[in-house]
Structure 1
């Protein structure tokens, strides 16, 4: 049976202003980093995307290398745009990125103008789009002048291939430098995409959140569930066959130590006391106090999207709850990686 959009799709979503811009983003966005490659059947991808849209998720986040193989996530989403989402383009925010290895040779990754420009062109063709709403520099390139990378982003806007630009995983100092360059060019630089979760707080210690506030930039945080650690998936100590840890996608099994699992179980008890799942607690935590514009989630099945959106029913915390969370989730208590593309 053909899917038809939920007419009440905007009633249960919160939409936050992206920094000082006019752009509104849903408090929860859907990322296509995993589960949208050729190793997942297309019907599952369709069900995940249509479920997200029916819940008010209007922002779909991609990158050139998402798959596997690289490029396949954009191809799959392009098909969904032509079929299920036909006629809905103006209700969607679609983003893509360039920075990681995409094709062989010296021009297939990092931040040169040649690579950024070619990558955006390829992404648009794969998705069948004239423009993306946001195009990101996916990581800082220490060997290319920052001015060159930012000028490439600026040119994408001036040529009509992107409406806004962003950066991902840049530390605070590089973000200040990028903002200064793009402000002088008049480029609509509106957003930063860093990793952030209860278990990974580099954006706080680095001062990035303060920099974003001072610069009038929005934020969309990836891995708010710490690659699945902040779900009930691993609480019993076993590793499910369909999990990221078992498939070696992004979560290393060494992080699932007995000590770390004890902390995660304690966080789960806090979630239960709030009437939430652990995933809902984790999403609510990154959205607390309104400093984060949107939490970027991934999903392997529609029910996970439904569960995550349920977090929005309670995103307020008492000081006691926050203190209890800190007892079990400070950096160092759980040995999880921090991910900025360049250390300070």
Structure 2
């Protein structure tokens, strides 16, 4: 039986309805939760399960799908698999969805397969478009700072990508506040807005507050879409009694993972956050998502899912976005940076 989208997917009166926020000073609205295809959309996962997640997300008002050139495994597989779902089902609704991809980390061998050069960014996006079967993406990001390439070259490449019709909007990811200000100024001089920034952000990784990135984004009219809001699983509730066997933190991962040693003090803070969540009628994961969206400067959060039930539970967090002053004070006492959570700090520091 062919898939037909839920006609109530945009019904604001629907229980658990998706909400949307404008990306900075742009006219573009994003759903508060975006489906990220970093994990669970490679060739190691059955395509039918991927299809159920993508179409199920769309049925719940999730109109934004976040990819990158090297998401897999193998590299490129997530884009290819997403392209298959576009071709079989979602393509008929292309104008209702935002498709995002990125380039910056390693993608192919040799000196032109990574970084921030014009050659790499344009070639990578052309490959991404072929894999997905698209003429353009809605948002294209430079995935990380590249200290070996002048920022002027990288931003000129993003400007060219917009002017050539390959992307409608451009953004950056994991740039520091200072680098974001510089990138914004260069793009502004070229006539192309820096629309959005994608940083890591969670209760256990608050660098965008201390670095001044959130303030810079608000001042410059740049949207912010956080990733790893669940701190790579630490804020899912699985780690309340330490690191369980079989978890990502215990097994390690070439894609990045937490250190297997979670301190007793950190575990106690997680339990304290879980108690606050319970008092609000939320799971720890739902509390973490709601907290990360408490500031209107946060446009969206990119979340992953391996099962549709996880996606539904995360969307349910949107029913409890308000916090009392006492709740925020109690959370602040427990929500502190945890070593090993911010895997992208080195990328930010490489140019500064």
- How would you bin the TM-score normalised by the shorter chain? over 0.9
Please report how far the alpha carbon of residue 330 of structure 1 lies from its aligned counterpart in structure 2 after TM superposition.
Answer: 1.5
Q: Unaligned regions of 5+ residues in structure 1, if any?
A: none
The count of aligned residue pairs is: 342
Q: Which residue of 2 aligns with 1:274?
A: 280
- 2 CA distance for matches of 1:322 and 1:295? 19
1:335 to 315, 336, 339: 339
Q: Which residue of 1 aligns with 2:186?
A: 181
- 1 CA distance for matches of 2:114 and 2:278? 44
Q: Which residue of 2 aligns with 1:284?
A: 290
How much is the aligned-residue C-alpha RMSD, in angstroms? 1.5
Q: What's the CA shift string for 1:96-122, capped at 9, x where partnerless?
A: 000000000000000000000100000
Alignment map for 1:1-344 (pairs within 5 Å)? 1-11=1-11, 12-237=17-242, 239=244, 241=246, 243=248, 245-246=250-251, 248=253, 249-254=255-260, 256-331=262-337, 334-338=338-342, 339-340=344-345, 341-343=347-349, 344=352
Secondary structure, in 3 states, of the residue corresponding to 2:172? strand
- 2 CA distance for matches of 1:73 and 1:240? 27
Q: Unaligned regions of 5+ residues in structure 2, if any?
A: 12-16
Q: Is the 8 A contact 2:243 2:250 kept in 1?
A: no
- 1 CA distance for matches of 2:170 and 2:71? 19
Q: What's the CA shift string for 1:152-182, capped at 9, x where partnerless?
A: 1111111100000000000000000000000
> CA, structure 1 residues 272+176, in 2 after alignment: closer, same or farther (shift >3 Å)?
same
Please report how far the alpha carbon of residue 44 of structure 1 lies from its aligned counterpart in structure 2 after TM superposition.
Answer: 1.3
> CA, structure 1 residues 271+91, in 2 after alignment: closer, same or farther (shift >3 Å)?
same
Please report how far the alpha carbon of residue 329 of structure 1 lies from its aligned counterpart in structure 2 after TM superposition.
Answer: 1.5
Q: Could you state the TM-score of these two structures normalised by the residue count of structure 1?
A: 0.96
Please report how far the alpha carbon of residue 10 of structure 1 lies from its aligned counterpart in structure 2 after TM superposition.
Answer: 1.5
Q: Could you state the TM-score of these two structures normalised by the residue count of structure 2?
A: 0.94
- 2 CA distance for matches of 1:239 and 1:92? 37
Secondary structure, in 3 states, of the residue corresponding to 1:288? coil
> CA, structure 1 residues 176+255, in 2 after alignment: closer, same or farther (shift >3 Å)?
farther
